[in-house]
């Protein structure tokens, strides 16, 4: 039986079913389009978030600490050899009075067998310089330092005045017997407890007057005092 031979009532029902099916197809098509648009929006949001996040990281790296190329090696003076056994003592880390990486010591022996120390800012297990642009540059392994036969003297101490990025006065060294170290500078005294290898660091804000500055500790039951200026 052809559609034209159907009774009028069935032909009407047939048309209604066809129209309903067409509506269902159209609705389904619209739903699929909305779903695709929704997925596109979600991917777009994720992509934008990723870009914003990446941009935020980049800004953070520009605003906060960043690493630059390593410092060039020291110009070794005639008759002075480079470090024979360099080693950064991370446990000697001492916070800066303002901001930026802590200060720490590198302890080593030179070719003459003397104990030596070098000071710098600590970042990622290395010591180096830290400038006004908040850029860290690692010091080379052959950096020179203050050297002395600590086994005989019992106390190695030196002072460093740094003007960049902020003025600092750093007193540091080695105390052979790990006794308390008293640092007096600009009329103000501090007592430090040495760390590994007898390391100690006293970092103070400003470029302080060394006149009358002293460092003392106990060696062999007696007080040993060194003048810094």
pLDDT tens figures, 70-117: 666 544 334 333 444 458 999 999 999 999 999 999 999 888 889 999
Whole-angstrom Cα distance, residue 134 to residue 166?
11
Residue 71 lies in a domain: no
Do residues 99 and 182 share a domain? yes
Higher-pLDDT residue of 193, 66: 193
Higher-pLDDT residue of 187, 2: 187
Do residues 57 and 93 share a domain? no
Do residues 115 and 196 share a domain? yes
Whole-angstrom Cα distance, residue 83 to residue 144?
7
Do residues 56 and 95 share a domain? no
Do residues 52 and 110 share a domain? no
Residue 70 lies in a domain: no
Do residues 108 and 213 share a domain? yes
Do residues 58 and 157 share a domain? no
Count of the separate structural domains present in the chain: 2
In terms of average pLDDT, the best of 47-51, 133-137, 188-192 is 188-192
What is the per-residue pLDDT for 162?
94
Do residues 213 and 132 share a domain? yes
Do residues 92 and 33 share a domain? no
What is the per-residue pLDDT for 60?
31
Do residues 150 and 223 share a domain? yes
Among 30, 63, 96, where does a domain finish?
Answer: 63
Site of tokens 């020179």: 144
What is the per-residue pLDDT for 5?
59
Please compute the mean of the pLDDT values over residues 47-64 and round it to a whole number: 35
Structural domain boundaries, residue 28: 3-63
CB 174 within 8 A of CB 147: no
Among 46, 63, 80, where does a domain finish?
Answer: 63
Residue 75 lies in a domain: no
Residue 78 lies in a domain: no
Whole-angstrom Cα distance, residue 210 to residue 207?
9
Do residues 184 and 100 share a domain? yes
Mean of all residue pLDDT scores within the chain: 76
Whole-angstrom Cα distance, residue 225 to residue 217?
7
Residue 69 lies in a domain: no
Residue 118's Cα: distance from chain center in Å? 19
CB 214 within 8 A of CB 227: yes
Residue 81 lies in a domain: no
Residue 82 lies in a domain: no
Do residues 219 and 161 share a domain? yes
CB half-sphere exposure, 44, CA atoms < 13 A: 6
């Amino acid at each position: 039986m052809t559609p034209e031979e159907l009774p009028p009532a069935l032909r009407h029902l047939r048309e209604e079913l066809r129209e309903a099916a067409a509506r269902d197809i159209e609705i389904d098509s619209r739903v699929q389009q909305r779903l695709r648009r929704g997925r596109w929006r979600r991917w777009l949001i994720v992509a934008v978030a990723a870009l914003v996040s990446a941009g935020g990281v980049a800004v953070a790296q520009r605003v906060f600490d960043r690493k630059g190329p390593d410092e060039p090696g020291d110009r070794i003076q005639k008759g002075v050899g480079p470090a024979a056994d360099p080693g950064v003592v991370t446990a000697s880390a001492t916070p800066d009075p303002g901001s930026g990486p802590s200060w720490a010591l590198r302890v080593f022996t030179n070719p003459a067998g003397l104990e030596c120390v070098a000071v710098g800012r600590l970042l990622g297990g290395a010591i180096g310089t830290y400038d006004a642009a908040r850029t860290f540059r690692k010091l080379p392994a052959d950096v020179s330092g203050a050297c002395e036969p600590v086994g005989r003297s019992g106390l190695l101490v030196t002072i460093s005045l740094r003007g960049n990025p902020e003025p600092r006065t750093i007193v540091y060294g080695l105390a052979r017997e790990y006794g308390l170290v008293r640092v007096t500078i600009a009329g103000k005294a501090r007592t430090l407890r040495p760390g590994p290898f007898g390391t100690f660091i006293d970092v103070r804000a400003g470029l302080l007057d060394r006149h009358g500055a002293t460092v003392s500790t106990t060696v062999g039951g007696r007080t040993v005092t060194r003048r810094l200026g």
